[in-house]
Structures are given as C-alpha cells and as structure tokens.
Structure 1
Amino acid sequence: MNNPMNPRPTNGNWQATLPAEWTIPYVDDSGREQQIPLRDHPSLQHYKTKDEAVKALVHAQRMLGKTPEGYVRVPSKDDNPEDRDAFFASLGRPNRPDEYALPEIDLPDGYEVQEALLEQFQVTAFQLGLTAEQVAGLYQWFLPVVLETHDGMEKEKRQLRDNELASLRSVHRGDTPRRLDEALRTAEAIGGNELLRALDETGAGDRAPVIAAFAKKAPLVLESGMRGSGDGWGEELSREKLREMMQDPRYHDPIKRDPKYVEKVRKGFETLYPGDYVPGSRL
C-alpha cells in the first residue's frame, strides 16, 4: 500500500499525480456504477499531458449552450410554414404533393390502385416532409406488401367458404343447392337487401350454421305465405307459378294487358317475398 506521504511512482503517467481522494462515478462494462479515483478514469488516457486535458475541459465549457458547427434544427409544427417548407425543400422534398414520382409496379390482373388513395399517400408524405427518394422507396416496398396481405386474406376467406360448404354437403348431400336457395330467399324476405349486404360484408353469410338457420326458417317465412286466401289466391303460390303468370299476354302484352291480372302478380310477389320488393327483381 502506498504511503500518503510517499505517492506511488508516476513512471511518466501524469494521471498518477492526481490525488487519490478525487473520485468520480463510473459505469463498468457490466452496467454497474461505482466511484473510482479520477486518475483511473479511462477517458483521461486520451490526453498525453495534463495540459491537453485542461485545454479540452476549457473548450468543452466554452461550447456549452452553443450550436455545434453543421447542426441544423428540425422545424416544429409551431414554426413559420415558410421556414418549414424551406427546410424540407433543402432536404429534397418536392414543392407540391403531386410532384412525387411514384414508380411503376406491375399489378396482378384485376387489381388497380385508387387515385384517391394515391393522392392521400402523396399528401401525407408531403406533410411529413419526406423526400422524393424516400417516398418512392416506401411506395415500392409498401404496395406489394398490401397486395400480398390482401391475397392472403382472400385465400383464407375462400378456404373458409369451401370448408363451410363441405360441411353443408356432408349433411344435405344432393339437397344442398335447394337448401342454399331457401336460405338466401328467407334472409332476403326477412331483412331485404340490407340484411344480405350485412351477411356478405361480415362473412356470416358463408357460415354453415347461419345458412342452416335460415334454411330451417324457410317453411315459416316462405311457404306460410304461399296460400293466400286473403290475397285472392286459391292455389299454391310459388316462384315457378309467378314466372308462368308473367308469360301470360295479360301481363306482358301492352295490348292485352289486364290491370287486375297484373295486380294479382304484384301481390303474389309481395306475398312470396315480403319486405323490400322490386317487381321482377327476384326472378
């Protein structure tokens, strides 16, 4: 152990001349912080003499609060718009959003990018201050990713639809097409086009339990309205019957047209398809 009255030999190392009681916090390679003598701090090894270290300290003190050479402050949203535009233009941003040149990308058949989406993409990039090169690179990467994701989702939907249809076929066998038709007509009769759109948009219309539920309701919704004594029907009403009646000259021939007969056909549609009815739309 060194005697305080006899400091350890310096061997030309000026750091060793610093008092041992001068300590400083130091974080080692393991991330642990500890107090070490200042003379043992690794940063002092960059200076050959004590004079160099002192000069570096004075220079660092002078630089505090000053803007380093080459430093450019990024404008904030609260700055003058003209200053922001000048800054982004200096980096390579076009003068207007529509001046971004988007690269040509070969799209699969049946795909096209909506103009409104492209315009919004350019406007957003302009607001963010992106350069022309950045926007081109981002677009060239992003669009194929979107297409791949969309194709994957469509593939999953088709697979789900096929699985659900296979489930129905395993139960109804050759009667499956009729059950599908009954389910569709029942859903339309109950909720009209709005319900059909909801079933399509949510994918519920492709699920076997939903189809089976509507098909089970078909006798109540469709067949219960096929015997219309109150509407002047003395025979069973069906879609095929209505088709046959529309071929009658009393319905389609302007010269032989019979208003009472036409009205009977119209009421037949209303009975068979209650709700949102458009003449001739369901044949």
Structure 2
Amino acid sequence: MTPLSMLLQATQVEPLPEEATASATELAAETGAAAAAPVGTELDMLQLVLHASIPVQLVMLLLLFASIASWVIIFRKKRMLDRAAREADRFEERFWSGADMSKLYAAATERNREIDGLEAIFESGFREYSRPRGRRNPDSRAQLEGAQRGMRVATARELDGLEHNLEFLANVGSIAPYVGLLGTVWGIMISFHGLANVREATIATVAPGISEALIATAMGLFAAIPAVWAYNRYATKVERIAGRYDAFAEEFSSILERQTHGDE
C-alpha cells in the first residue's frame, strides 16, 4: 500500500456541528425570503393625491368634476339619441303605412301630449299647410312655402336639442390633457424647488413628488378619452338623424306639392 493510500484512509471526514448546520439553514431561508420580497412598495393613489401640493390638488379636483359631468352627459345623450331613433322608426312606419294625414295631425295635437322628432316636424309642416285652406282662393305656392318653412324651423329646433351639451364633451376632450399637463408641470417644479435645501439628491428624494405630479396627467387623460369617444360617436348619430329629418321633410314636401296640384 502506498503512503498516499494510507494517508487517505487515516483521514476521517468529520460532520459539521449542529449549530453550524442550523445557521446555514437560517441564512438560506433569509436569502430566499429577501429574493422573493418585492423591491418597492405598492402604489397608493389616494396618498399621492392627498400629499400633492395645493395647485395640483385643485387641478385634480377640476378634472374630477369634468370627468363626472362628462359621464352624466354621455349616459343622458345615449338615452336621448336612442329614443329619437326609435320614435323616428315608429312614426315613419305609421306615416308610410297609408294612414290619413289628418288623423296623424289630430293624434299629434292631442292635449297633454309632448311630441318631438319626425312627428313634431310633420305637425309643424301640416299646420302651416292647412292654415290658409279656410280662406277664399288660397295661394298653393304660399301654402307649400309655409309648410317647408315650418318644417325647417322644427328640424332646427329638434337638432338643437340633440346637439345640446355635445360641445362640452368636445371641450373636455381637447382641454383636459393640457389641464392635467399643467398640474404635472407645476408639481414637478415644486419637487425640484424642494431639492434646493438637500445636499445630495437621489431618486428616493425626487420620485414621490414626481409621482404625485404625474397623477394630474393621468386624470386628464382619464377625463379626455371617454369624452372624445362619446363626442365622435354621438356627433355621427346626430348627423344620421339629421339626414333622416331632412329626407322626411323633402318627401313630405313632395307629397304636399302633389296634393296641391291635385286640388287645383
């Protein structure tokens, strides 16, 4: 047997003490927990808003009111436009079903009954057309022009009601991002101004102020995006309804013109 083999047999591997084993286990557990723990804390939006400067808070409050008002207008305008489309469908179905126009006019002028949309346009046109018929030798051209004028006025009145508050949505959609940006710029200015008394500026020193300021931009976008979407959608719907009103007025004028020539 060689001296090297005898030396290896003589050397015995001694186990680690129990205390050393326990210490190693605890160290490994602490290391794993530290690796699994998140690096930063969760973002608390409410705290960022409450700790923002007064001008930034005023900007946020203004944007909050604009957002709430926009959503109220969005829901109300949806109900109004859907109702106008349904009523236009119902009246066109009755009008083109061959019903007597005198009966339609009598139904439109019933007491305690509010009319709008196509029915209001029809009522206005037929009222102006029937007004001079009781006179002797009525002028058919004046009758037709009066009916057309009455329908134009009624159409303008109906469209004005449908377009009401759409301008507010357009203003919120175009101005809200800039208002939010104003609050962000102001908050960043205040954050950097506060570093004048700090000898060593770090990310931990600047980050809270910048985070508070950026909330204003986020709120501006939150108010603007739904307003822009709703304005584009509802403006398109109003244009379609206006097209239906104009088409009905033209067709009704043609019917009255043929009736006038038939009476002559």
Q: Please report the TM-score for the alignment, with normalisation by the length of structure 2.
A: 0.23
Relative to its length, the structure with more helix (as a share) is 2
**TM-score of the aligned structures, taking structure 1 as reference length:** 0.22
Greater CA radius of gyration, 1 or 2? Answer: 1
